[in-house]
Structure 1
Amino acid sequence: MRRYLHHNGLGLFFGLLFLLAVVGQVVSGRALRNQELVAAGLAPLDVGRYLTSSSFAVDLLENWQSEYLQFLLYLMATVWLVQRGSPESKELDQVGRESDEDQEVGAAAHPWSPGPARRGPGPLRWAYENSLGLVMGTVFLGTWLAQSVAGVVAYNEEQLQDLLPPLSWREYLVSPDFWSRTLQNWQSEFLAVGSMAVLSVYLRQRGSPESKPVGAAHDDTAAEG
C-alpha cells in the first residue's frame, strides 16, 4: 500500500482535492440557491434535488470545460510555439511535430514502446500520436455542450420566476449569460498558463519538474529541476 501511494501520490492528492472541492461546492452552492428560492417564496432544495438541478450542473460544468480547453490549447500551442528560457517550452530548434527518431515511433521505437508506437504510419498510430489532444478536445466539447444545456435550463428557471419569457437553446448560445459564464472562466485559464510559462523563466521552485534547476540560467529552455 505504501508503495502504491508513493507511486501514485500526485494523482491521488489532486483527486482528493477535487472531491473535497466538489463537496464544498455542493454545500455552499445549495445554501446560496436555497437563499434565492426562499427569497422568491419557493421551497428550498434538499441535497438530492440540488445535485440533480441545472443550477449545480451549470456551475460544475462551466469550470470543467474551461480546464480542458486550457490543456487542449496548451498541448497544441507547445507543438509549434516556444518560450525562450521556460521549462514549459520545448527547445527553440524543436518547433513542430519532430522526427520519428525524436518521437521514438515506427522503426525508431523500442521493444518496450507502446504497441501503436511500434506500428508504421496509419490511422491507428495517428490516433495514438494525438490521443491526448483528442481526449482533451472531446471532453472539452462534451462539457461545453452539457454546460449550454444545463445553463439554458437554469437561466429559464430564473426567467420564469421573474415572469419573463424563456429562451430556446439556440437563443441561449448567443446570450450574454452564456458568454459571460464562459469567458470569465476562459480568461482566468489563459492568464494562469501564460503566467506559468513566462514567470518560470525567471523564478524557481526547488525540486519541482515544473521549474528549472535553481542555478540554471534564465535563458535555459526546456530544462527541468
Structure 2
Amino acid sequence: MSAYGILTAILIQKGSSESKDPKAPQRDSDLAAQADKPGAPAILKWGGLWRALYARSLGIALGLLFLVSFVIHWTQSARAVAEDALGHGAIPSTTIQYLFDPQLWFESFQNWQSEFLSTVVLSIFLRQRESPESKAVAAPHQQTGS
C-alpha cells in the first residue's frame, strides 16, 4: 500500500476515483510558505528536512508497516513450516531458506492482489454513496478524481 499511496500522488489513471485530477493545480507547492497558514502542522516550520520527511510521511509509514508485517508473516510462516517438517520427520528449512519458498510468496501476493483489485480496478466502476474514496454515484466512469 506504500507504493499505492506514493504512486497515486504522481500517476494518473483515467476513470479512477483514486487518481488525482490532472487539470487541478498543485496543492502542495511551496510548503515553506504554507507553513504560516492557520492550522498548518507545526512540523512545517521546523525546516526543509522536516518538511520533506513530513510531506512523504504516509508513504514512509505504510512502507514501514509493510516491512514489519512482511517480516512477521515470513518468520512465523517459516516457524510453522519447520514445525510441520519436524512432525513428519523431515529436515526443516531455515528462515532464510523459507524466504525463497514459493508458498510464502503465494500467500503474500494473494493479499496484495486483493488490496489493489478492490481499491484501483473496482473504484472505476463501482460507487459508495457519500464516501470520499468514491466518485459521485452519477459520475461517468471516465471521470478522473473524486
> TM-score of the superposition, structure 1-length normalised?
0.57
Q: Secondary structure of 1:83's partner?
A: coil
Instruction: Work out whether residues 72 and 137 of structure 1, in 8 Å CA contact, stay in contact via their aligned partners in 2.
Output: yes
Instruction: Tell me which of 122, 126, 134 is aligned to 1:196.
Output: 122
Larger radius of gyration: 1
How far has the Cα of 1:94 moved from its partner? 5.6
Task: Give every structure 1 segment of 4 or more consecutive aligned residues whose post-TM-superposition deviation is greater than 6 Å.
Answer: none
Give the fraction of aligned pairs with identical amino acids, expressed as a percent: 37
Contact 1:159 1:165 in 2 (8 A): yes
- Report the CA distance between 1:117 and its aligned residue: 2.1
The residue matched to 1:221 in structure 2 has which SS?
Answer: coil
The structure with the largest helix share of the pair is: 1
Q: Does 1:158 align with 2:84?
A: yes
- Tell whether 2:139 aligns with 1:216: yes
Q: Distance in 1 between matches of 2:42 and 2:68?
A: 28
Aligned equivalents of 1:131, 1:215: Cα separation in 2 = 34
Q: Is residue 2:103 matched to residue 1:177?
A: yes
For these two proteins, the number of residue pairs brought into alignment is 145
Relative contact order: is structure 1 or structure 2 higher (C-alpha 8 Å, sep ≥ 6)?
A: 2
Per the alignment, residue 72 of structure 1 pairs with: 2
TM-score by length of 2: 0.84
Change (3 A) 1:188 1:205: closer
- Aligned counterparts of 2:86 and 2:21: Cα–Cα separation in 1: 56
- Note if contact 2:74-2:99 (Cα within 8 Å) is conserved in structure 1: yes
Question: How far apart in 2 are the matches of 1:134 and 1:84?
Answer: 26
Contact map agreement 2:16 2:120 (CA 8 A) in 1: no
C-alpha change, 1:206 and 1:185, in structure 2 (3 Å) is closer
Runs of at least 5 residues in structure 1 that lack an aligned partner in the other structure: 1-70
